[in-house]
Amino acid sequence: MGAFLARRLLVALLTLLLASLVVFAVLEVLPGDPARLMLGMNASPEALAALREQMGLEQPLLTRYLAWTSGLLSFDLGRSYTYSVPVSALVLERLSVSLPLALASLTLSTLIAIPVGIFAASRRGATGDTLSMGLAQVGVAIPNFWFALLLVYLFAVWLRWVPAGGFPGWGAGVWPAMKALILPTLALALPQAAILARVTRAALIDALDQDYIRTARAKGVSRSSVLWRHALRNAMIPVATIMGLQFAFLLAGTVVVENVFYLPGLGRLIFQAITQRDLIVVESVVMLLVASVILINLLVDLSYALIDPRQRVA
Amino acid sequence: MRKWKLGLGVAMLALSVSMPAFAARTDLVLGVILEPPHLDPTAGAAAAIDEIVYANVFEGLTRIGENGDVLPDLAERWTISDDGKVYTFKLRTGVKFHDGTSFDADDVKFSLDRARAPDSTNAQKGLFAEIDTVNVVDPATVKITLKEPQGAFLYNLGWGDAVIVAPESAATNKEKPIGTGPFRFDSWARGSSIKLVKSPDYWGEPVALERAEFRIVPDAAAAVPAILSGDIQAYPFFPSDGVSQIEGDSRFKVVVGSTEGETILAMNNRKPPFDKLKVRQAIAYAIDRQSVIDGASSGLGTPIGSHFAPHNPAYLDLTGVYPHDPEKARALIKEAGAEGLKLTIKLPPTQYARLGGEIIASELREVGLDPELVPIEWAEWLSQVFTDKNFDATIVSHTEPNDIDIYARKDYYFGYDNPAFDQIIADLNTENDEAKRKELYGEAQKILAQDVPAAYLFELPKVGVWDAKLEGLWQNAPIQANDLTKVRWTD
């Protein structure tokens, strides 16, 4: 187990280093001057030069790369060009929305998907299976954006139960903040649940078709006991993989849903930073995301080891 | 009995004093599309900054009113010397910045000197280029001497980029703006909202609102339910494609006004074959302005035939110079030998450009040209089109007020060069007589309408949506601001 962990950590560190090079290089070749973007069409060349100097854009490439990476190592993410506040403060602010939202959506989607997947797999081919998988198919097909708007019109405009969007901040109280996250959680969780339910069903059916299940059944183990004790555990590996991917997506890939609910989440921060060429924010946040994806993958790998002892030596 | 009556009278009096019959609402949530990068209007071009702080938090010597007129602000009155070079401003007294420091002539000198200093990052530094010296005569008097007379000087001082800041707070205005206006900055939850509160010791007429919150709603599709649900009560710059969903609802007002945004198909005049007048004329004839307006601005824009805002008193309607005439366009293209000409049209990420581009491209194909649409981001537009001049044509709205002089700028992106036009702009700079200025503006408009360095499409509309019980918001947008000083709830 120790060697397994050490090998994984080494790979993770190399990935981070490589990612920092790629991220930095890609943003360097991206056309567009942040200073020009901030000062606009009427800016004089002197004003532009003064601003570029202030932002440290006039320094050589290597100096800037080293300054950035050494900053990262000491957890100093730099200062945003556009907002001129520390990037770490911006990220923490956004995480206070994105992290609870991602966790809540993942929890909700798991709570829906796994029972539905098990139900469908245990009744393979029966009406219950067809019906629940039909619904899941619809869930996968519905665009996130459209579903989110549907929820807004129903619960905010028509019923007026929750606000149409926005986030008052946790400072405004736990309930108002949670209330603002109800619709976004639903909008994110249901399509994810649809995917996860299909994966759960497929994995479980796959497991149920294995020889050891037939052997177990032949030994006289009951149908439900086989399902719950033998097949489910094996089916959990692909499910955990998908959940890991979904969590990474929910953390930062939800800019469309964040836009519909005008939530100040991480996705919008990156999107806005790219269009405004706030390079330091893009670089630092992308690195942070790379790090969290690597961490999630590491946890998923570890969970394999827990689910299936054979993985520990692989 | 008398005691009882007296008691009742006192009670009623107390009631009427403490509760002015059904106290009207004093809070307002406004929607804005773009979040400002920071809140210092003297250090950035983003219109989103002015949308929050102009006239609300910061004030200048003069200010621009709803219809583009120049009004006194921190300068109560002024005199101009006969040669048009010396402006003497009498300042308001008893004005305080929000941090309690007093406003006086030193702040004016500081602000103007800072804006034109060598290390200044003012996005409109050019506005101050003609200033020679700024002298403090006494705490309430400032004398500004210009190098050359400048007809638009008082107007220029009304821009958001020319507001008066204090030396104590100038460096931190980006995060915590300190001005002299009727609202104080309260808080900013980045990505979410910016809050202002009424300033208790404002020098001028007190405002009716106690609190104003600007909420950032970046998506047009989200703006409609935000208004319908009442979460947001005013959306002064509303995305025009969402208007149809609100128009029929009596709870809301949809107010269409004008802006300073001339939307044009700019051509690269230094690059063949766009240096040929016939090619540019052909393109102008090929375009049906009304179809572009219908498709790109929900039919709300006003057609223009030159680079001038229709609400301006000096405006001339020149849309008839090159009316939509595909036959003529085809003939001109043949004469110029430009049949099948391939051209790229670079489109920034605005609705008017992306939708307008589709329509214009099909109209150009109709007359035998071969346009290709290239959608790009703003950052790319600024570097490829504006700075490197690497383009054939582009659709863009020039939103700076009164900016016909850009055609006289050397090395400007569309590369127009006409000494006769340059002379008119030079004359305008030194002319103070209103009637003569109007005449000169007319001539400038006519030259551009004939020469078509760009095909003139339409004036960008300002579409505002707000609660029907709200009054005092601007209909027009001579500058992109949300002046809240006159805003009140009526019930």
State the CATH number of the domain containing residue B300. Answer: 3.10.105.10
Query: Do residues B259 and B464 lie in contact, with contact meaning Cβ atoms separated by under 8 Å?
Result: no
Does the pLDDT at position A175 exceed 90? yes
Arithmetic mean of pLDDT over chain B: 91
- ipTM at complex level: 0.82
Asked whether the beta carbons of B219 and A146 are under 8 A apart, the reply is no
The residues with which B397 forms a beta bridge, in sequence order, are B263
Q: Which domain holds residue B134?
A: 59-170
Environment class of B452 (CB within 10 Å of its CB; exposed 0-12, middle 13-18, buried 19+)? buried
Of B120, B191, B384, the CB nearest to A264: B191
- Give yes or no for A29 touching B (CB within 8 A): no
The answer to whether residue B54 is domain-embedded is no
On whether residue B13 sits in a domain, the answer given is no
Q: Is residue B155 part of a domain?
A: yes
Those residues whose C-beta lies under 8 Å from the C-beta of residue A101, and which sit 6 or more positions away, are: A181, A184, A185, A188, A250, A254, A263, A265
For residue A244, the model assigns a pLDDT of: 87
**Same domain membership, residue B142 and residue B267:** no
Compute CA distances A42 → A64, B111, B200, B386, B399, whole Å: 28, 19, 36, 10, 11
pLDDT in tens, A13-57: 899 899 999 989 888 777 778 888 888 777 888 888 888 888 778
Q: Are residues B125 and B265 in the same domain?
A: no
Mean pLDDT of B338-344: 93
Locate B217 and state its tokens: 């709603």
Q: Do B272 and B386 lie in a common domain?
A: yes
Q: What is the pLDDT of residues A192-232, one digit of tens each?
A: 999 999 999 999 999 888 888 888 888 888 888 888 888 88
Pick the residue with more confidence: B358 or A53?
A: B358
pLDDT in tens, B29-44: 999 988 898 999 998 8
- What DSSP state is assigned to residue B209? -
User: Do the Cβ atoms of A269 and A98 come closer than 8 Å?
Assistant: no
Residue B4 has pLDDT above 70, yes or no: no
Question: pLDDT per residue over B140-171, tens digit each?
Answer: 999 999 998 888 899 999 999 999 999 999 99
The CATH number assigned to the domain holding B75 equals 3.90.76.10
Flag whether B66 is in a domain.
yes
DSSP symbols for A107-129: HHHHHHHHHHHHHHHHTTTSHHH
Mean predicted confidence (pLDDT) in B87-105? 96
DSSP, res A144 = H
pLDDT score at A57: 81
Would you state the structure tokens that stand for residue A198, as one six-digit string? 């299909």
B164 with B269, same domain: the answer is no
Domain boundary among B119, B138, B170: B170
Residues B382, B278 share a domain? yes
pLDDT at B13: 46
| A276 near B CB under 8 A | yes
* pLDDT exceeds cutoff 50 at B211: yes
A264 touches chain B (CB under 8 A): yes
Residues of B in contact with A31 (CB under 8 A): 379-380, 383-384
Verify whether the Cβ–Cβ distance A40 to B225 is below 8 Å: no
Say if residue B460's pLDDT is above 90. yes
In a domain, B352, yes or no: yes
Proportion of chain A above pLDDT 70, given as a percent: 98
Among B170, B189, B217, the domain boundary falls at B170
User: Mean pLDDT across the stretch A118-140?
Assistant: 90
Contact residues on chain B for A157, CB-CB shorter than 8 A: 225, 228-229
- Looking at the structure, tell me whether residues B271 and B401 fall in a common domain: yes
Q: What is the mean pLDDT of residues B111-130?
A: 92
Model-wide pTM > 0.90: no
Q: Is the pLDDT of residue B48 over 70?
A: yes
CA distance, residue B26 to nearest chain A CA (Å): 19
Which of B154, B170, B186 is the last residue before a domain boundary?
B170
User: Would you say residue B477 lies in a domain?
Assistant: no
B304/B419 same-domain check: yes
Q: How many domains does chain B have?
A: 2
A191 at the B interface (CB within 8 A)?
A: no
Q: B272 with B382, same domain?
A: yes
Residues B244-279: pLDDT tens digits?
A: 888 889 999 999 998 999 999 999 999 999 999 999
B15 pLDDT above the threshold of 50? no
Average pLDDT over residues B188-217: 94
Asked whether residue B453 carries a pLDDT value surpassing 90, the answer given is yes
Is the pLDDT confidence value at B127 over 50? Answer: yes
Instruction: Say if B73 falls within a structural domain.
Output: yes
For an interface test with B, which of A38, A42, A46 has the most B Cβ atoms less than 10 Å from its Cβ? A42
**What values do phi and psi take at B352, rounded to 5?**
-60, -35
Treating both helix axes as pointing N-terminal to C-terminal, what angle do A87-122 and A174-208 enclose, rounded to 10 degrees?
40
Among B123, B218, B383, select the one facing A42 at the smallest CB separation: B123
Q: What is the nearest CA distance from A253 to chain B, expressed in angstroms?
A: 16
DSSP B253-289: EEEEEEEEEEEEEEE-TTSTTTTSHHHHHHHHHH--H
- Mean pLDDT on A266-288: 88
**DSSP-based helix, strand, coil % in chain B, nearest 5:** 30, 25, 45
- Using a pLDDT cut of 70, give the percent of chain B over it: 96
The dihedral over CA atoms of B371, B377, B379, B383, expressed in degrees to the nearest 10, equals -10
Q: How many CB pairs under 8 A join A and B?
A: 155
Please compute the mean of the pLDDT values over residues A2-6 and round it to a whole number. Answer: 80
Please tell me if residue A57 touches chain B, with a CB cutoff of 8 Å. Answer: no
Is residue B266 located within the same domain as residue B394?
Answer: yes
What is the model's pLDDT at position B363? 96
CB contact under 8 A, A32 and B191: no
In a domain, B34, yes or no: no
CB B173 within 8 A of CB B181: no
Say whether both B165 and B265 belong to one domain: no
Answer yes or no: do B120 and A166 touch at CB < 8 A: no
Contact A50, B122 (CB under 8 A): no
**Per-residue pLDDT for A311 more than 50?**
yes
Same domain, B122 and B265: no
Of A33, A46, A83, the CB nearest to B118: A46
Q: Do A38 and B37 touch (CB under 8 A)?
A: yes
Q: Which of B34, B224, B382 to mutate to test the interface with A (most CBs of A within 10 A)?
A: B382
Cβ pair B190:A43 closer than 8 A: no
- How distant is the alpha carbon of residue B400 from its chain centre? 6
B270 and B377 share a domain? yes
pLDDT at residue B305, as a whole number: 96
Q: Is the peptide bond before A115 cis (omega within 30 degrees of 0)?
A: no
- Name A310's Cβ contacts closer than 8 Å, sequence gap at least 6: none
Task: Answer whether B77's CB lies under 8 Å from B92's CB.
Answer: no
